Amino acid sequence: MRRTPVVATVGLAVLVLAAVIWAVGRSDDDDPDRAAGGASSITSTTAPSTTAAPVAGTPGAAGIGDPYFPGLGNGGYDVDHYDLALTWLPDQGAIEGVTTIDARATQALSRFDLDLAGLEVTAVTVDGQPAAATRDDRELVVTPATAIAEGAAFTTVVTYGGRPRPVGDGTDLFDVGWQIDGDEAYVVSEPAGAGTFFPVNDHPRDKATYSFEITAPADQVVATNGLPVGDPVDGPGTRTWRSQARDPMASYLVQIAIGDFEVVDGGRAGDVVIRHVLHRSLADAARVTTARTAEMIDVLDDVYGPFPFEAYGVLAVDEDLGFALETQTLTIIGRDIATWGRRADDILLHELSHQWVGDLVSPATWQDIWLNEGFATYSEWLWSERTGGPTAAQRARAISGTRADLDTPPGDPGTEELFSTTVYWRGGMALQALREAVGDEAFFTILRRWVDEHRGSVASTEDLVALSEEVSGQDLDALFQRWLYDPRLPRL
Ligand code: ARG
Ligand code: ZN
């Protein structure tokens, strides 16, 4: 695809001291979203670099290699940490941001990409030196002043702003990314929306830790993944909230919520701090709805091993979302589910279980989505089984043969059916079929080892087949083939 140059460089190089003035801005002035973008150029002064032998790098790939989303993620580097400093301007529906990205080059890099959708970039530096930046659809292409050596750690700072707009990602349900509802803002990114509010290597394969410094109007409350660091700091009419997510996290799981929230103590489950973030207008109802969280953590601890993160809780926003999303340590739900009381048990259990299967262990590619949704569905059935309801075998058989749409193979649903029923139900049924083939002891060993051996990382369907065969000593190719890839729904 053609690249659009957007960097105008006014370079004034003097032999003794080089003063370089960079003006970086998007050229599409007709974009109405630019209105709130803030300054469109910056000035910085840099000393001349006394360089050693120059590195000859090559461009990092524009995608990480996901078969369903070729443009998602990038090649040539691995991010360790993102620092997101964002100011939320609800009157303009806009953000002003500075994202600092600590990464390591996995090849010698002449340039590299970040994923960023919309917004206006006003400055990019790499290791303190101004870098050239161009936009190409949802890619931000960064060319550092000097190439980066393979294995080198480097820090990129991107200054940007504008009105974040959710993007369509082909999964056909709704647009993902930063969501605005009046004064309230929150994030629903799965699978490809994180780039709507920060420049990111947007793929689960590149997990990182995060720190947040979010500034909002003084009367609003900010909540993110992880836990707060200190008390919020007041400015003129504003309040700045710092927090940290210490455990590596996939970008689609980042949550930043800003609104009229009440932060509610949900007690503890062992060492796990439970805190819910509930829109004030539905806090009373949501307290009741979320009351079984600790009990649910206990049941899942027993299935998958200890809850993997420092905190957990539910974020309830003031809008009927029609779904929930397992944003790490802080599952987001809407007004609808928040007011369901006990009827929400299944879905709350489902999102909680994603903290192990989905968040701690994430899909290696988006084609592997059933590893999230099939496992989370199966977790609902285990909860039922362990709390006096129908067994998993009964839940799975209640589905068998009831729906024609289960003839779509969950192991390769395609982007448009990424979140379709088959991925959830037939995915769960596949695990029941596995359980019946290998027996309970092997099956629960597989679940535990699955989580333990891939914690903090990603895993693929092939990894699950290999582990299941190792634990059970059986050849299971035919079973997984039937359940995951053959068109027709098998019978249990
Ligand atoms: N992972 C969410 C859930 O379990 C589903 C989110 C749907 N996301 C989407 N982009 N359509 O239940
Ligand atoms: Zn799910």
* Predicted local distance difference test score (pLDDT) of residue 374: 98
Which pLDDT score, from 0 to 100, does residue 405 have? 87
Region of poorest pLDDT, from 2-6, 57-61, 94-98, 122-126: 2-6
pLDDT at 32: 35
Q: What is the mean pLDDT of the chain?
A: 90
Q: How far apart are CA 257 and CA 275, in angstroms?
A: 14
pLDDT at 229 over 70: yes
Q: How many CA atoms lie within 13 A of 12 on its CB side?
A: 8
Which pLDDT belongs to residue 153?
Answer: 98
Helix (H, G, I), strand (E, B) or coil at 441: helix
Does the C-beta of 202 come closer than 6 Å to ligand 1?
no
- Beta-bridge mates of residue 84: 99, 212
> Ligand 1: which residue has its CA nearest to atom 8?
190
Residues in the chain, how many?
A: 492
Give the span between the Cα atoms of 247 and 272, in whole angstroms. 14
CA distances, 303 to each of 157, 246, 381 (Å):
42, 24, 12
Kindly report, residue by residue over 293-339, the tens digit of the pLDDT: 999 999 999 999 999 999 999 999 999 999 999 999 999 999 999 99
- Asked if residue 41 has pLDDT above 70, the reply is no
Query: Ligand 1 in contact with 24 (CB < 6 A)?
Result: no
Give the model's confidence band at 274: pLDDT under 50 very low, under 70 low, under 90 confident, else very high. very high
pTM to 2 decimal places: 0.90
Confidence of residue 403 (pLDDT cuts 50, 70, 90): confident
Mean pLDDT, rounded, for 452-470: 98
pLDDT at residue number 304: 98
**How many angstroms does the Cα of residue 420 sit away from the middle of ligand 1?**
9
**Token pair in block for residue 155:** 């820090």
Q: Which range (26-40, 276-290, 431-445, 473-487) has the least confidence? A: 26-40
Does 348 contact ligand 1 (Cβ within 6 A)?
A: no
Q: Is the pLDDT assigned to residue 29 strictly greater than 60?
A: no
Beta partners for residue 258, in sequence order: 185, 222
Is residue 283 scored above 60 in pLDDT? yes
pLDDT 10s digits, 132-157: 999 999 999 999 999 999 999 999 99
Query: What residues does 333 pair with on adjacent strands?
Result: 316
pLDDT at residue 402, rounded to an integer: 67
**Residue 347 CA, closest ligand 1 atom number:** 12
Residue of minimum CA distance from atom 1 in ligand 1: 325
Distance separating alpha carbons of residues 190 and 68, to the nearest angstrom: 13
Pairing assessment for the beta strands 208-217 and 139-143 based on DSSP bridges: unpaired
Best residue for ligand 1 mutational test, from 190, 331, 425 (most atoms within 8 Å of Cβ): 190
Average pLDDT of the segment spanning 401-409: 82
Q: Is the minimum distance from the CB of 325 to ligand 1 under 6 angstroms?
A: yes
Is the pLDDT score of 48 beyond 50? no
Residue 52 banded pLDDT, cuts 50, 70, 90: low
Q: Measured from the CB, is residue 416 less than 6 Å from ligand 1?
A: no
Q: Is the dihedral of CA 337, 249, 300, 460 positive or negative?
A: positive
**What pLDDT, in 10s, does the model give residues 193-211?**
999 999 999 999 999 999 9
Q: Write the CA distances from 319 to 179, 322, 391, integer angstroms.
A: 11, 9, 34
Mean pLDDT of 445-473: 98
Q: What's the pLDDT score for residue 401?
A: 63
84-135 per-position pLDDT tens digit: 999 999 999 999 999 999 999 999 999 999 999 999 999 999 999 999 999 9
Give the angle subtended at the CA of 172 by the CAs of 71 and 35, to the nearest 5°. 70
| pLDDT for the residue numbered 39 | 30
pLDDT reported for residue 453: 98
